[in-house]
A and B are shown apart, each in its own frame.
Chain A
Amino acid sequence: MVVDDHPMWRDGVARDLAAAGYDVVATTGEGRQAVRIAGAARPDVVVLDLQLPDISGVEVITGLLAALPSVRVLMLSASGEQQSVLDAVKAGASGYLLKSAGQAEFLEAVGRTAAGDTVFTPGLAGLVLGEFRRLAVEPAAGDDGMTPKLTERETEVLRLVAKGLSYRQIAERLVLSHRTVQNHVQNTLGKLQLHNRVELTRYAIEKGLD
């Protein structure tokens, strides 16, 4: 499923995906509609433009995951709006790509998203690193050891991703398997998303029960 408010771009992406052998089950330009039809269309992967005219990227992702928990979301954005990219990742998106990425890169990213991998750009790795540092420094409000931390290895891997090394190069440099590098990257995202869910639950309990 392709969600993008720019018709030319939306059709172009859909055509590319179809040409590469993917089955494009739906296209739309609105976030609300995307959430509405996701349950019926049952896409495996949603290619989502982060800036939609009606609702925010975070809302679309939350809505999509609620309607279809197994769906994997690959975000695209024409510009690196950093905070919104970070928020979208925390909300559960599994990959991020700039629209300026080449066609091959894009198709590879869709393939990897479909296979359950995370797709990181160096920029996203920098954002995630920064977010973990912020969480570590931030005085934890009523925290009980819930602040997520990266292991040394995970930090090392993320730094190398942010410096533009491919997973293969990182594996070579750290003498790890490609799969292990992949897992490390995926774990960092998992920790952020889990933390985000815990925070949201805590917030809901505070608001709802008091």
Chain B
Amino acid sequence: MAESSGLQTPLWRAIAVYRIAALVYVTILVVQNVSVYERPVFAWPVLALTAGWTVFTTYAYAVPARRRPPLLVADLIVTMAVMASSAWIVGAAALKDGKPTLAVAWHVAPVIAWAVAGGRRWGIAAALAMGATDLVVRNHYDQAAYTGTVLMLLAALAVGYLVGIAEVSQKRLERAIQMEAATRERERLARDIHDSVLQVLALVKRRGAGLDGEAGELARLAGEQEAALRTLVTGRSAAPVDANAEVDLMTLLEPYASSTVSVAAPAEAVRLPGRVATEIAAAVAAALDNVTRHCDPGTKVWVLVEDEPGSVTVSVRDDGCGIPPDRLTEAEQQGRLGVAQSIRGRVADLGGTVTITSAPGEGTEVELRVPRPSIG
């Protein structure tokens, strides 16, 4: 299940070590108590089987592919059988007297193995089965008997939980490594593009700027491509936006920069909760859309982002035709003014304010001010 986890190998090794240590303990107990057993002769073959199984599982579990149900189930059954044989070999009287079973301590190993292989649920299932067998074989129900089973259950729970966490963090680590590799590759590409293509495009644009006709048109196109490419390679990489996690607002706004749109912002990240940043970006997109729809092509737009302690202000100014003041109110009264409405709506939802100033021939300026949500 969790074969990728880097914690698996040491855990399996620890189980093997535990099993060997438990075997030593069992051997000592058998030597000490064999005189009071009901059928002492049979204790030795069972001890031999315990030792054999310890050796076998140590090698068998070392191979990740074998850490699966066939071996796990066999492990559980063999251990239960060793434990059950105690009822006949040690005898009801000695067991009732408090003498340990032939699998004491050793019987926890398969339970932990289940917990490591399958997580909490498997661990608990194995612990319950093993605990029940233990109680039945012991044939006496005092506090010590229950404590052993409860401890085993808790151990299985803890190990299962640990393995779950290890698995999650392993996945996170892998993702982080992947992202880092992608970022590095992107930076390498950006450097290359910067050193070659961008320079040539900028040069073409510059040399051809004064020319008429087709050459001038080519220069203009080169300039547009240069701006687009520049945004692409220098834009702070936009990760998928998580609504609650903080993001840099600029990762969302910088892609709007082009040969006609200038984006001015602080050098440092403008950190906002993902939801707020997405809404602001959408409002800016609506404002830019408004410009392309209502103004002549080639109208220049300036976006300014200001990061203040209590709020974030984004201004979108264009040098286009502007809106006559009465048209704004008129349109609002008629219930249309979709774009301005969507900007106002979005910003109002964030508890912010929108100021639209415009005069014919002087362009339009939309200023969004959004309060910074208190941290916590």
- Chain A interface residues (CB < 8 Å from chain B): 5-6, 8-9, 12, 16, 51, 78-83, 85-86, 99-100, 102-104, 106, 121-127, 129-131, 133-134, 137, 159, 162-165
CA distance A39 to B72 in the complex (A): 80
Interface residues on B, range: 35 or more
Q: Which of B241-273 contact A (CB under 8 A)?
A: 259, 262-268
A123-B264, A134-B266, A164-B302 known; A9 vs B233 contact (CB < 8 Å): no
Contact check, B194 vs A79: say whether CB atoms are below 8 A apart: yes
* Partner among A82, A103, A134, A137 whose Cβ is within 8 Å of the Cβ of B209: A103
CB distance from A56 to the nearest CB of B (A): 14
Q: Which of B56-64, B200-208, B324-332 contacts A (4 or more CB under 8 A)?
A: B200-208
Closest B residue to A84 by beta carbon equals B267
A100-B230, A131-B266 known; A9 vs B317 contact (CB < 8 Å): no
A9-B203, A122-B302, A162-B302 known; A80 vs B307 contact (CB < 8 Å): no
Contact check, B267 vs A127: say whether CB atoms are below 8 A apart: yes
A51-B194, A99-B199 known; A126 vs B234 contact (CB < 8 Å): no
Contact check, A102 vs B264: say whether CB atoms are below 8 A apart: no
CA distance A124 to B315 in the complex (A): 16
CA distance A12 to B365 in the complex (A): 38
Chain B residue numbers with a CB within 8 Å of A5 are 195
CA distance A81 to B254 in the complex (A): 12
The majority secondary structure among interface residues of chain A is helix
A12-B207, A80-B230, A103-B206 known; A130 vs B268 contact (CB < 8 Å): yes
Chain B residue numbers with a CB within 8 Å of A86 are 267
B157 at the binding interface (Cβ < 8 Å) = no
Contact check, A126 vs B202: say whether CB atoms are below 8 A apart: no
CB distance from B84 to the nearest CB of A (A): 70
CB distance from B265 to the nearest CB of A (A): 5
Contact check, A79 vs B306: say whether CB atoms are below 8 A apart: no
Contact check, A100 vs B264: say whether CB atoms are below 8 A apart: no
Contact check, A123 vs B262: say whether CB atoms are below 8 A apart: yes
Q: Which of B199-223 contact A (CB under 8 A)?
A: 199-200, 202-203, 205-207, 209-210, 223
Contact check, B262 vs A122: say whether CB atoms are below 8 A apart: yes
- Chain B interface residues (CB < 8 Å from chain A): 190, 194-195, 198-200, 202-203, 205-207, 209-210, 223, 226-227, 230, 233-234, 259, 262-268, 300-302, 304-309, 315, 317, 319, 365
Contact check, A78 vs B202: say whether CB atoms are below 8 A apart: yes
Chain A residue numbers with a CB within 8 Å of B315 are 159, 163
Contact check, B199 vs A126: say whether CB atoms are below 8 A apart: no
Chain B residue numbers with a CB within 8 Å of A12 are 203, 206-207
Contact check, B268 vs A134: say whether CB atoms are below 8 A apart: yes
CB distance from B229 to the nearest CB of A (A): 9
Contact check, B306 vs A81: say whether CB atoms are below 8 A apart: no
Chain A residue numbers with a CB within 8 Å of B302 are 122, 162-164
Chain A residue numbers with a CB within 8 Å of B365 are 163
* Partner among A8, A79, A81, A82 whose Cβ is within 8 Å of the Cβ of B265: A82
A9-B202, A12-B207, A164-B262 known; A159 vs B308 contact (CB < 8 Å): no
Chain B residue numbers with a CB within 8 Å of A133 are 266, 306-309
CB distance from B256 to the nearest CB of A (A): 13
Closest A residue to B196 by beta carbon equals A6
Contact check, A79 vs B266: say whether CB atoms are below 8 A apart: no
Contact check, B259 vs A100: say whether CB atoms are below 8 A apart: yes
CB distance from B189 to the nearest CB of A (A): 13
Chain A residue numbers with a CB within 8 Å of B226 are 100
Chain A residue numbers with a CB within 8 Å of B233 are 79
Known A-B contacts: A79-B198, A86-B267, A163-B304. Give 11 more (CB < 8 A).
A100-B227, A102-B205, A103-B209, A122-B302, A127-B266, A127-B267, A131-B267, A159-B306, A162-B302, A163-B264, A164-B300
CB distance from A74 to the nearest CB of B (A): 15
Closest A residue to B266 by beta carbon equals A130
Closest A residue to B234 by beta carbon equals A79
List 7 interface pairs A-B (beta carbons < 8 Å), by A numbering: A8-B200, A100-B230, A124-B264, A129-B264, A130-B265, A133-B307, A163-B302
